[in-house]
Amino acid sequence: MRIDEIRAAGSGADAVVLTSAVSRRYATGFHSTAGACYISARRAVLLTDFRYIEAARLQAQGVEVCEIKTGESYTAAVNRLAAEDCVKSIALEDETLTCSEYRRWENGLAAQAVPLGRLISGLRQVKDEDEVMRIASAQRIAEQAFSEILNEIRPGVTEQELAARLTYLMLHHGAENMSFDPIVVSGVNSSRPHGVPSQKPVAEGDFVTMDFGCIYQGYCSDMTRTVAVGHVTDEMQAVYDTVLSAQLAGIAAARAGVTGKEVDAAARSVISQAGYGDAFGHGFGHCVGLEIHEEPRASQTADTPLPAGCVLTAEPGIYLPGKFGVRIEDMLYVIEDGCVNLTDTPKHLIVLPA
């Protein structure tokens, strides 16, 4: 049970108070925009208000559920629980609270406030079987949307229209929400890794890069595919092939115990040897879970070894300003002797009819 895992991880304090929505969901399985989860050696209590209390009592796991009454503060409720438990110190989520929020909690608590640090984010790095299933299910939804959007990519359709359609399709096929706003960029706009969909219409001879994902039962998916419309030049084909070779090299290097820097280097060397080293300016990938960007990462500065059980994106790219860009992205479930690709969509270059 998650509560027991949090206790066993050892915060260094007598109790922990989780205030971020993602940590509360991780601990209890229940999502809300307001609440706090108090965990001591004696008990675990989810505090929330009238808007969520009925749903919390039905859905929260491994915790008591208590309602915060109108006019009552969360610090007052935590103080009451802490006094009953003889708690002298409470660990707070210093990495997610703002400075003013942390001070407000610190000043309001009767017990000593101490920083929790990365305890929860560290636990979240390793996914259990159920978490992997949810990520894979989110990916299946995104892939279904991709297969259908291919029928709608043609000259004259705008990037914004395609982004809106991807959003609709993922919701239609069972997504709770988007992992992030879909990136759909075409032609010269595709050289912008995080370009914003515009009113630019797709034209014959364009690359169209689509980076998107959705949330299923709280967990995110993330994928990128670059397709062509009508035809490609020799340069476009060469760049696409280089990005795909780089991605495959990074995937081959990914396994538990290898640092993110080593995985990134395996892919980056392919791009550099092809003469495009300066055109790959971001990292190879990042981990995914309840949030779209989690630790650890695979980049030029990532010295952290990848743990068995993390889910890592594999997304190298080449971006040529004024011309085009290419990115290809899968999600990898990292295991002791390699990785399992959670993405089923093929990666050969698709050239759509104009």
pLDDT along the chain (354 residues), means of 10: 94 97 97 97 97 97 96 96 98 97 97 97 97 98 98 98 98 98 98 98 98 98 98 98 98 98 98 98 98 98 97 98 98 98 97 96
Residues near 121 by Cβ (< 8 Å), separated by ≥ 6?
95, 294, 295
**Lookup result for tokens 């890069």:** 209
In the chain, what's the furthest Cα-to-Cα distance? 72
Q: Which residue type occupies 136?
A: A
Q: Does CATH number 3.90.230.10 belong to domain 129-352?
A: yes
The pLDDT, as a whole number, for residue 180 is: 98
The pLDDT, as a whole number, for residue 283 is: 98
Tokens representing 205? 């001879």
3-state secondary structure of 259: strand
- Under CATH, domain 2-124 is a member of which superfamily? Creatinase/prolidase N-terminal domain (3.40.350.10)
Q: Which residue type occupies 350?
A: I
For residue 296, whether the previous peptide bond is cis, meaning omega lies within 30 degrees of 0, is yes
The pLDDT, as a whole number, for residue 118 is: 95
Q: How far is CA 22 from CA 37, 48, 129, 166, in A?
A: 11, 14, 19, 25
Give the domain ranges of the chain: 2-124, 129-352
Cα separation, 85 vs 75, whole angstroms: 15
**Lookup result for tokens 């299946």:** 140
* Nearest residue to 177 (alpha-carbon basis) of 185, 168, 186: 168
Q: What is the pTM of this model?
A: 0.96
The pLDDT, as a whole number, for residue 1 is: 81
> How many helices (DSSP H) and strands (DSSP E) are in the chain?
10, 20
E strands, the chain, are 15-18, 36-40, 44-48, 64-67, 89-92, 112-115, 177-178, 183-186, 207-212, 214-216, 219-220, 223-229, 285-287, 294-298, 311-314, 317-320, 324-327, 330-335, 338-341, 351-352
Same fold, 2-124 and 129-352: no
